[in-house]
Structure 1
Amino acid sequence: MDIAPIIAALKRQKTAAALIAIEIALSCAIICNVLFLITHRLERSHVPSGVVEDELVYIRTAGIGASGGDDPMVRAREDRAALASIPGVKSATIINQIPFGHSSWNTGVKLAADQQQTSANVGAYYADEHMLDSFGVKLIAGRQFTSDEFLNFDDVLKGKSDPPSSMIITKTLARRLFGDENAIGKNIYLDDTKPTRVIGIVEHLIRPNFGSDLIDADSSMILPVRLSLGYGQFVLRTDPGNRDAVIAAARKKLKEVSPNRIVLDAKTLESARSDYFKQDRVMAGLLVAVVISLLIVTALGIVGLASFWVQRRRRQIGIRRALGATRRQILHYFQTENFLIVTVGIVIGMGAAYAISGWLMHQYELPRLPLYYLPVGAVALWLLGQLSVLAPALRAASVPPATATRTV
C-alpha cells in the first residue's frame, strides 16, 4: 500500500496523531524499564543460595546459661552436641550468619598487603568443622579444613591469634579476584599482616544481605573460626518432612540444657528466603499492575482516536469505496496509519527508555537496561496498536458506499 496519502492525511491531523505518538513513547519508555525491573526482581528472588534450603532449620537464642562453667566456647560445643543428638538431625553447626538471615558479617579483602583499596567486599562465614556438611555446600575444588587450622573466635576477637591461615571461597569470588587462574593456593589478605591461603572453592554460597548485583551476592568466604555462644546461631540439617518436629525438639532440648535460655527465632531456611524476598514479590506484583494499567490506557487512547477518525471520515471512506476500494484495503489503510503513528512513538520511546535507565543506574545503582528489552517493548506496542485499531477499522471497512455517500 502507498503510504504517501496516509502521511498526507496525518499531516492534517497533527495534534491528534502527536498525542497518540507521545502516549506510545511514554508507554514504551516506562514499559521497557518496568519489564526489566520485574525480571530483575524475579531473578534476584531465585538466586541460588548454595545450601540445601529444604533440609535446614536455624535457631537464634539469647540469655544463655548452659552448663560447662563460664566458658562460652565450652557452652557452644555442648549446645551443638545436644542439638546434634536429636533424632532425625543429620548434622548441626553454630555459625555467625545464614543466607537470607538477620545479620551480615562482611569485610574487604586485598591481594597484597600494601594494597590501598580493597579488591572486593566479601561475606564472611565463621565456621566450625561441621559447617560444610550441615549447609550441604558443594566443594568443587580443593579440600576442607583440617583440625589444626581452626581458631577460637574469642582469640581472634581479642587479637591473641593471627588471621586464619586458610579459607574456602565461592567460585564467583575466585573468578572475581583471579579471573581464569586457578585460585587454589592463592593468597588473600584480610588485614595488612599475614595472608590467608585459598584451600577450597565451593559452587555457591550466598551472603545474607545483598543488593541488585548478583555477582556481589555470591561473593562469600568461609573461615575456620569456632564461635563462642552469643556470637552465633545454630543450623540443623534434617529431612524436609522432619523440619517442624526437629524445631519443636530443639526448643525442648535447649530448654533442658539451660532453663534460662530464650529462643528468639526458630524457622526453616525456606521461610527465611520467603521473608527476605517478600518485598521483591510485592514490588513485582505492583509493577505488573502498572504495566497492565498502562497498556489498557494506551489501548483505550488508540481505540478512541481511531473511532473518532472513522466517524469523521465516513464521507471519505464512502468515496473510496465508490471508486472501487475494497473492504480489505480500507482495513489496511487504518492499520497502516496506526502502525506509522506507533512507530514514531516507539522510536522516541526507545531513546527515553534508555535515558530513564541511565537515571535509575545513577540514583538506585540498578544495572543498565539491556538493549533486547527495547525490541520486546516495541513488538508489544505494535501488537497492542494493531489490536486496538482493529475494531474501528472493521467498522470503517463495513460502511457501504451508498450509505457513506448519503452523509454528504
Structure 2
Amino acid sequence: MSLTLLFKSLLQRKVITILLLIQLMLTLALVSNSILLSQQAYTLSNQPTGLQLETTLAIELKPTDENLIVHPALGELIQRQLAELRKINGVRYAAFTNQTPLMFGGMNGDVFVPDHAETSSVDAVPYNYAEAGLFDALQMTLLHGRWLSAEDKNTDNVVLTEKLANRLFGQSHLALGQQISAGTVVGVVADMMYQRFASDQYYGLFFNRDLSRADYGYRLILQVESQAVAAVRQQINQSLRQVEPEIDIQHIVSLRQLHRDVFEQERGLAILLSVLSALMLLVAMISAYSHALFHGVQQQNEIGIKRALGASKRRILLEVLSESWLTTGIGVTLGLLASFLLQQQLATVISLPALPLWLPFAGALMLLFCVTAATWYPAAIATRVSPATATKAL
C-alpha cells in the first residue's frame, strides 16, 4: 500500500492520530526506563556485601541520661551492655561501633598519603570507631597484617578495607606499615559494603577508640547463630533495660533489613514505573483496537468496493495493519527520543546508568507486537465486508 495514501488516511483523523502518537511515545519511554530501573535495582541488590546479612543484628541506642552520653560513663555503659548481651543464648559475638554498615551516609573523613596528598586524597571515607570484637561481630576476613587488638586502644593504628588500600597504594599488601593521614596501617580486611554515598561503598577505615560522646547515639553489633535470630531479637530489649533503663532503644534490625532499605528508592521507583508502563501498554492496546475498529466501520463501503474490484482478504488485512504499523512506527520514533530524555531527568534524582540503545529498540518491538495483536481482530473483521454491502449502500 502507498505510504502517501496511508499518511492521507491518518491526516483525516488528526486529533485521534496525534493523541495515539503521544500515547505510544510516552509508553515506550516508560517501558524502556522501567526496565532500566529494574535492572539497576536488581544489580545493586545483588552486589556482594562481604557481610552476614541474615545473622548480624544492629542495635541503635542513645542514652536519655545526660551523664551517660559522655566518656568515661558512656564507655562503661557500653561494656556492661555488651556483657549482658553476650549472655543471651545464640549470641556468638557482640561489639560496639559508632556506625553500622549498609547506611546512606554517616561519619566520614578525608584520607590521603602524606607524601602524595594531591594524587592520593580520597573524600568521604567512613570512619569507624570500634573495638577488637568488631572483627568477629561482622565476620570480617583478614587479608594482610592484623586486626586491631586491645593494645591498639585509642592509638593511631588503623585497618583499611582492601579497595581503599588499593586506591591509596596500588596494591593492598603495600599498605602495611604505611603512614596515612588517619594513622598507621596495621591491617587490611576484605571489602564490605559500608556506606551507599561514600566515595566508594566499599571504602572503610577502622580505629580502636572509645566514643568521647554519643549525642547521636551508638550501635551494638551482634553475630547470632542462624537458628536463634528470632529468639535473640525478642530478648535484646529486656536485657538492655536490665543494664540501664535510661536508654532509648531506637532500632533493632538485621543487616538484611538495612540492605533492603538502602536500595529501597530504586526498587520502589522501578515498581512504580513498571506498573505505569503496564497500564500505559494496556491503554495503548485498547486505543489501537478502538482506532482500528472505528476506522474499519467508517471504511466499510470503501473496503466493500475494493473487494468487488478483486482485492483479496489478505490485501485488506495488510492495509489495515499497515496503517497501524505506520502509526506505531512514528510513535516509537518519537518514543526513542523521549526515552533518553526521561532517563536524563531520572538520573538527576537517583543514580542511574546510561540507557543502552538496545533497550528502547527492544521496547519498540514489544510495543509493535502488542499493537499488532490489538489491531488484528478489527482488521480481521474488516476483511469480512462483502462486495454486496458496498453495492447496497451506493
Which TM class, normalised by the smaller chain length? 0.7 to 0.9
Partner secondary structure for residue 193 of structure 2 = coil
Other-structure match for 2:131: 128
SS in 2 for 1:293: helix
Residues 331 and 394, structure 1, Cα contact 8 Å, conserved in 2: yes
Query: Could you tell me how far 1:234 is from its partner in structure 2?
Result: 0.9
Alignment partner, residue 199 of structure 1:
187
Cα RMSD between the aligned structures?
3.4
Describe the shift of the 1:328–1:133 C-alpha distance in structure 2 as closer, same or farther (beyond 3 A): farther
Letter in 2 for 1:401: P
- Aligned-residue sequence identity (percent) comes to 23
Q: Which runs of 5+ in 1 are unaligned?
A: 153-160
Q: Give distance in 2, aligned partners of 1:358 and 1:129.
A: 46
Q: TM-score, normalised by structure 2?
A: 0.82
Partner of 1:88: 90
- Where do residues 152-301 of structure 1 align in structure 2 (5 Å cutoff)? 152=154, 164-171=156-163, 173=164, 177=167, 181-186=170-175, 191=181, 196-197=184-185, 199-207=187-195, 210=196, 218-228=201-211, 230=214, 232-278=218-264, 280-301=266-287
CA distance in 2, matches of 1:189, 1:106: 19
Relative to the length of structure 1, the TM-score reads: 0.80
Asked whether 1:10 is paired with 2:7, we answer: yes
The aligned residue for residue 158 of structure 1 is none
Q: Which residue of 2 is the match for residue 39 of structure 1?
A: 39
Say if 1:331 and 1:393, in contact at 8 Å, map to a contact too.
yes
Q: Which runs of 5+ in 2 are unaligned?
A: none
- Give the Cα–Cα distance (whole angstroms) in 2 for the partners of residues 114 and 276 of structure 1: 32
Distance change in 2, residues 1:122/1:331 (3 Å): farther
Please report how far the alpha carbon of residue 52 of structure 1 lies from its aligned counterpart in structure 2 after TM superposition: 0.8
- Number of residue pairs the alignment of both structures matches: 382
Q: CA shift at 1:45, angstroms?
A: 4.4
Taking the aligned partners of 2:333 and 2:231, their CA distance within structure 1 comes to: 60
**Mapping 1:305-320, distance limit 5 Å:** 305-320=291-306
- TM-fit CA distance, 1:169: 1.2
CA contact (8 A) 1:10 1:17 kept: no
* Distance in 1 (alpha carbons) for counterparts of 2:3 and 2:259: 56
CA contact (8 A) 1:42 1:280 kept: no
Structure 1 range deviating more: 222-231 or 371-380: 222-231
CA distance, structure 2, for counterparts of residue 126 and residue 386 of structure 1: 62
CA gap 1:13/1:280 in 2 versus in 1, 3 angstroms? closer
AA partner of residue 184 (structure 1): H
Measure, in 1, the Cα distance between the counterparts of 2:266 and 2:171. Answer: 36
Q: Is the 8 A contact 1:93 1:131 kept in 2?
A: yes
> SS at the partner of 2:393?
coil
Partner amino acid, structure 1, of 2:75: M
Deviation at 1:236, TM superposition (A): 0.9
Of stretches 195-204 and 51-60 in structure 1, the one that deviates more from structure 2 is: 195-204
Distance 1:178 1:327 in 2: 73
The answer on whether the counterparts of 1:94 and 1:227 sit within 8 Å (CA) in structure 2 is no
Assess, with a 3 A threshold, how the Cα gap between structure 1 residues 306 and 92 changes in structure 2: closer, same or farther. Answer: same
